Structure 1
Amino acid sequence: MTSSKQKNNIELFKLPLWKRIFDIFFSLFAIIFLSPLFIIISIAIYFEDRGKICYCQKRAGSNFKIFNFIKFRSMYIDADKRLKEFAELNQYEIENEEEKKIEFHNIKVSDDGILINENTLIDENTIINDENVIINNEEVKDENLLFGDDFTVVANDFAIFQNNIKRNSFKKLEGDPRITKVGSFIRRYSIDELPQLINILKGDMSVVGNRPLPLYEAELLTNDEYIERFLAPAGLTGLWQVEKRGDAGKLSAEERKQLDVKYSREFNFWMDIKIILRTFTAFIQKGDV
């Protein structure tokens, strides 16, 4: 009985009526108005690299609701075969010499160019034995150790590991050769995002909000510091997408996450209108939105 009451007391985000009405009218108008562009892009994608025009990916939106996120396909059909070749292409430079020692093992690259590590991050003095126990290659007895149910880890190495898990939640590739020529163009002007107007019409997301995240990335943000970003609309465009665009500046992962939290706390009708107007300017600027 108690657990049932606690479950019912969990506060979930509820989309305001004004925002849903705006989303329906905006998405319907945009789909009709942009239908010639949809047709042209679809033909171009198909004739450059025969295959599906769009692709769907599971993403986490408001209240961590999972839905099929639609985009125009911008990569070659055999892109999965090329993933490991691009593990070293990192948009965000490693600035700290200590961090340069860290190697990425079992790297996976998503369709969005996100670098993720399926197992762990280790430095040159750390090894993982056959039982998946993290140990230090030097004098372990002189180090501070942390013990878990099924692992032992040197405290300093674990701190580095945790720091990099946090840093790498928004890793992206730059100059990804998996992208087609048409894909490069539609990504540059964010045209690949337009099929999400269908998601908006269906109610999966909103015109303005925090970007719905791939599941592996969303799981890294389910702590007290960032969970609030999910208590807001999932959106086609948002606050961080229109920041630092004019000076060719790139937001850090931490800045993006903080802006997501800010939007979830402060969003209103006029803020949304302002973001939409700034997004139109961002469309003609170089870089992904």
Structure 2
Amino acid sequence: MDYNYKGIRLVYSGTELSQESAETLGQEYNVVHVGDTSNLENYLSTLSLFSTPDVIMIEINDEELVFSIINKIKSNPLTSGLIIVLLAHMPDVRLRTRALKAKIHDLYFYPFEMEHLKDRLNFLIKFKLIKPNIEQLAVIKKEKEYTTPTPKRVFDIVSSGGILLVTSPILLLIALFIKLDSKGPVIYKSKRVGTGYKIFDFYKFRSMRAGADKELKNLSALNQYADDGSGANAFVKIKNDPRVTKLGNFLRNSSLDEIPQLFNVLKGDMSLVGNRPLPLYEAEMLTSNEWSMRFLGPSGLTGLWQISKRGKGEMSDTERKKLDNFYAKNYSVWFDISIMLKTFPALFQKEKV
């Protein structure tokens, strides 16, 4: 199904958006221009359950007034879920930091590409407005659709099917040991975001105790991906994760926990080589035009960052995102073969990834 953006109400507060840009936005959204920030306050005071907009775009002329209005928006149950985008005149690191702390969805500095802004808004609308409905989100049609090349798909099917056939006795033994080691299901399933923001069930052998997902927030300070100054890391990987079982440590160190992902490859959810599909909470943090490139290439079981930086604790969030973007722009059959050949030595590195 196609998402109907024309039904999305976008409120614009400002005076400097060009007529051409306003018309471009109006082609996809129901745009309401309310004037400057003083008029915006009056507009917000008249909102009801049926007239609340979906997106609000504010030009920063009086910074303190704008952030005061944002605080009011976020403290009001009626408007707290609005997508907020700020427009500013001069690049300003301090302003960007303040916007991050205020949990603004994005900040653009004039001049900017209107197509980039539209792509960003479309993604935010998908993830913020209909995120609770996973099934609906999963079938949204992506404008830039990625199709797996036929040779790559054939190789994926033959290779993953052959590996599963050969390793089937090992898989049965692992399943038995997991059952004996701790309570819970043998296979751990989680929603992941892959190529073109497609959402699917991602399979792994369970290596953690039951209910481990609920403990992640309290362990975020142990994230192995170094903070790049943004204050919010897109990737989460816990050093010496206390949620991992004894058997789980072995499965992770040997990468045997990853074998069930071969079923994802057979199904076409992902490829053998590509950028790792991400949990929803990580994918939501990679929605800017700069980082969304990683989703326009194939997703896979192994990839460039695993062989380049696997196990190095000093690897930063930004480094991994750059590696993902590089692969999405440069992947090829020979590049994939090279990555696969280098994957096996990477499996035996000491640090867990």
TM-score by length of 2: 0.57
Q: CA RMSD in A?
A: 2.7
2:335 aligns to what? Answer: 271
Any conservation in 1 of the 2:270–2:300 contact (CA below 8 Å)? Answer: yes
2:168 aligns to what? Answer: 35
Aligned equivalents of 1:171, 1:9: Cα separation in 2:
26
Taking the TM superposition and a 5 Å limit, the aligned residue runs for 1:93-132 are none
What is the percent sequence identity of the aligned residues? 49
Any conservation in 1 of the 2:294–2:328 contact (CA below 8 Å)? Answer: yes
Q: Secondary structure at the match of 2:154?
A: helix
* Cα deviation, residue 90, structure 1: 3.5
Amino acid corresponding to residue 162 of structure 2 in structure 1: F
Amino acid corresponding to residue 265 of structure 1 in structure 2: K
In structure 2, the CA distance between the partners of 1:81 and 1:210, relative to structure 1 (3 Å rule), is closer
- Aligned with 1:238 (options 291, 303, 316): 303
**1:22 and 2:155 matched:** yes
Amino acid corresponding to residue 250 of structure 2 in structure 1: F
Any conservation in 1 of the 2:227–2:316 contact (CA below 8 Å)? Answer: no
Q: Secondary structure at the match of 1:34?
A: helix
2:319 aligns to what? Answer: 255
Q: Secondary structure at the match of 1:221?
A: coil
In structure 2, the CA distance between the partners of 1:222 and 1:86, relative to structure 1 (3 Å rule), is closer
* Cα deviation, residue 85, structure 1: 5.5
Which structure 1 residue ranges, 5 or more long, are not aligned? Answer: 96-159
Any conservation in 2 of the 1:53–1:72 contact (CA below 8 Å)? Answer: yes
In structure 2, the CA distance between the partners of 1:16 and 1:170, relative to structure 1 (3 Å rule), is same
- Aligned with 2:284 (options 202, 219, 224): 219
Aligned equivalents of 1:219, 1:209: Cα separation in 2:
19
1:139 aligns to what? Answer: none
Report which structure shows greater RCO (CA 8 Å, sep ≥6).
1
- Aligned with 2:193 (options 47, 52, 60): 60
Aligned equivalents of 1:80, 1:245: Cα separation in 2:
23
The superposition leaves residues 158-186 of structure 1 with CA deviations (integer Å, 9 ceiling, x where unpaired) of xx7xx212xx1113211111110110111
Any conservation in 1 of the 2:193–2:279 contact (CA below 8 Å)? Answer: yes
Any conservation in 1 of the 2:227–2:317 contact (CA below 8 Å)? Answer: no
Q: After TM superposition, where is structure 1 displaced by more than 6 Å over at least 4 residues in a row?
A: 6-9
Which structure 2 residue ranges, 5 or more long, are not aligned? Answer: 1-5, 7-26, 29-117, 123-140
Aligned equivalents of 1:221, 1:189: Cα separation in 2:
29
